[in-house]
Structure 1
Amino acid sequence: MLTGCKVGAIVFFVTDLGRSLAFYRDTLGLPMQSLDGHDGPWAMGEVGELTLVLIPRPARAGDTPVVVFSLDGGIDDYADALAARGVEIVVPVSEAPDGGLSLDFVDPDRNALSLYQPAGAARRK
């Protein structure tokens, strides 16, 4: 039924919109913007062909699926930068099942996020 579809958006319910917007925009460097909608403030940003949406509403940690951001290399540089910004790393850089590398961390609401780079890509840029 979903053959040929791709993920177009990921919605995160967040407890503090300002804090989460700052995390995604300022800490991770994603092009996020704050918006006003018919139900109040929210935020969104385009990351490649994917739209990230932040909606202020109490969230239960772990209810959100893991979102994987693909890298073409430099995963150790990203790990260092995240740690330097106080981001909680829950699984350090480790081998992924296909031989690539992954790193798992959480946002301020403990939504699970992951970085992935394919096998053979340089660990540092």
Structure 2
Amino acid sequence: MDLKLKKGIAIIFNVSDIDRTEHFYRNVLGIETVRQSGGDEADWLIAKWEDHVELLFFQGTEKAGRSPVVVFELEDGYMESVLEKLANEGVEIVTPVTEAPGGWSAEIADPDGHPLAFFQSGELPLR
């Protein structure tokens, strides 16, 4: 079988509080989110990134926090300042900036404990 994939990916997050999640992704991380009506069910969120990635958020406390790790690649030159800003917003830094193959990485947790990672290629700047 020849599997053909479209460009792009959707990643699903199960969350305990859709309002708190919307605030975190939109206001703290700066990712545009659109709330979708769930009709008789809880509302859900969608975030699109340049037609390549969709993040989908569904409320459901029994599965909250159990989702895949998502890695966001940062532009060269500002990994430490991004983490500093996130820490000032009260975001949990799970793993500080550490050397990774081809660059640097760090992990944070969103409000439900979902692990999120950042990657920056190249040399880490002093600031």
Same fold judged by TM-score > 0.5? yes
Could you tell me which residue of structure 2 aligns to residue 42 of structure 1? 44
Number of residue pairs aligned between Structure 1 and Structure 2: 122
**1:18 — aligned with what?**
19
Query: Shift in Å at residue 40 of structure 1?
Result: 3.4
Q: TM-score, normalised by structure 2?
A: 0.85
Secondary structure of 2:112 counterpart: coil
Could you say what secondary structure the match of 2:31 adopts? Answer: coil
Q: Structure 1: which 5+ residue stretches go unaligned?
A: none
Q: Note the C-alpha offset of 1:37.
A: 3.0
> Once superposed, which parts of structure 1, at least 4 consecutive aligned residues long, lie more than 6 Å away?
none
Q: Deviations over 1:1-54 (max 9, x none)?
A: 786636511110100000011000011010112110343311111123100111
The structure having more radius of gyration, on CA atoms, is 2
Change (3 A) 1:31 1:123: farther
TM-score by length of 1: 0.86
Closer/same/farther in 2, CA of residues 4 and 84 from structure 1, 3 Å limit: farther
